[in-house]
Amino acid sequence: MRAQDFLTVRDLSREEILETFVIALDMKANRSKYADALKGKALALIFEKPSLRTRTTFDIGIQQLGGYSLYLSPAEISLGKRESVHDVAKNLERMVQGIMIRTFAHQVVIDMAKHASVPIINGLTDYSHPCQAMADFLTIQEKKGELKGLKVCYVGDGNNVAHSLMFAGARLGAHVTVACPPGFEPNLTAYKDASEDARATGARIEVVHDPAVGVKNADVIYTDVWASMGQETEADARKKIFRPYQVNGDLMAKAKKDALFMHCLPAHRGDEVTDEVVDSPQSVVFDEAENRLHAQKAIMYQLMK
């Protein structure tokens, strides 16, 4: 990995993503081998949004690499309000060797990377969720062997997770279809960027409005909550709009027989996915969640060593 920061999957080439996967799988199989890889190094964890998986995997991950973390809550930081992003960056760069940020506006991570001399890792923004996509495609590679030519169908809101799946699929040569209601398509810039990247690998990036069409011949069906953090006031209205996009047994049956089911979690069971699907043998949601740990350890190792 040559990048100084990890803000979106587009920061990495296909070769760099695959190299990260090799390291992640080696770390998964040989944890003790990397026990001192980041010995004595500190990672600041800035959280403007709550988290289970991001908090746990970065906290445990840096410790398993011999380093340690410092959790900074919204009350302590309040980026851009209590203190400017510039000043937070200039303070932290003198005290830690890496910064992970989970926030709302993507511009925050861009600005932090601009001002801080230490690596910045995007733990989630409203635009991009790159660590999740790395764990997702690592999991698909584990289960399917080959990524190039596979079809991933994301069903639901064209949000940050959809963007990162498109970016990763385009880099890796996997086809990504987003099946969403009209008016809830992915960001146009994200779609154009992914489509441009896809030309180099033969991937296909497409948006459809019929979930049955989207999942046809899919190797992976992926979904996310219908209302993300910050959209709680829209939840009831979104339920009505997205109801036809629920991933249930009938929709899974329209994909390939051996299609995987994936979800970045937390899942709202009975809304975007049924218990029948999320608890089925086709579901790899907990393998996917575990792989957040291994993928992020590989990212931290490459950026902070």
Q: Is 268 a catalytic residue?
A: no
> Does residue 107 share a domain with residue 174?
no
- DSSP code of residue 32: G
Query: Which is the catalytic residue, given 10, 53, 102, 175?
Result: 102
The Cα–Cα gap between 206 and 180 comes to 11
20 is a domain residue: yes
190 is a domain residue: yes
2 is a domain residue: no
Half-sphere exposure (Cβ direction) of 240: Cα atoms closer than 13 Å: 3
> Does residue 177 share a domain with residue 123?
no
> Does residue 153 share a domain with residue 35?
no
Query: Is residue 1 scored above 70 in pLDDT?
Result: no
216 is a domain residue: yes
> Does residue 110 share a domain with residue 177?
no
Q: Is 171 a catalytic residue?
A: no
237 is a domain residue: yes
Q: Considering its fold, how many domains does the chain have in total? A: 2
Query: Which is the catalytic residue, given 106, 175, 238, 292?
Result: 292
Query: Which is the catalytic residue, given 106, 129, 163, 294?
Result: 129
Helical ranges in 102-234 per DSSP H: 106-115, 130-144, 160-172, 188-201, 211-215
Burial bucket for residue 75 (CB in 10 Å: 0-12, 13-18, 19+): exposed
Q: Is 209 a catalytic residue?
A: no
Q: Is the pTM of this model over 0.85?
A: yes
> Does residue 294 share a domain with residue 205?
no
> Does residue 123 share a domain with residue 40?
yes
> Does residue 208 share a domain with residue 90?
no
Q: Give me the CATH number covering residue 173.
A: 3.40.50.1370
Provide the pLDDT confidence category of residue 280 given band limits of 50, 70 and 90.
Answer: very high
Q: Is 224 a catalytic residue?
A: yes
4 is a domain residue: no
> Does residue 219 share a domain with residue 179?
yes
Quote the domain boundaries for residue 104.
9-129+289-304
134 is a domain residue: yes
Query: Which is the catalytic residue, given 126, 136, 197, 224?
Result: 224
Query: Which is the catalytic residue, given 10, 11, 126, 132?
Result: 132
Query: Which is the catalytic residue, given 111, 153, 264, 296?
Result: 264
> Does residue 228 share a domain with residue 116?
no
Q: What is the mean pLDDT of the chain?
A: 96
Query: Is residue 87 scored above 90 in pLDDT?
Result: yes
> Does residue 281 share a domain with residue 136?
yes
Q: Is 115 a catalytic residue?
A: no
| pLDDT tens digit sequence for 160-188 | 999 999 999 999 999 999 999 999 999 99
Q: Is 102 a catalytic residue?
A: yes
> Does residue 221 share a domain with residue 106?
no
> Does residue 231 share a domain with residue 114?
no
Q: What is the pLDDT of residue 77?
A: 82
Per-position b or e across 250-276, b if 16+ CB within 10 A of its CB: ebbebbbeebbbbbbbebeeebbbbee
| pLDDT tens digit sequence for 117-159 | 999 999 999 999 999 999 999 999 999 999 999 999 999 999 9
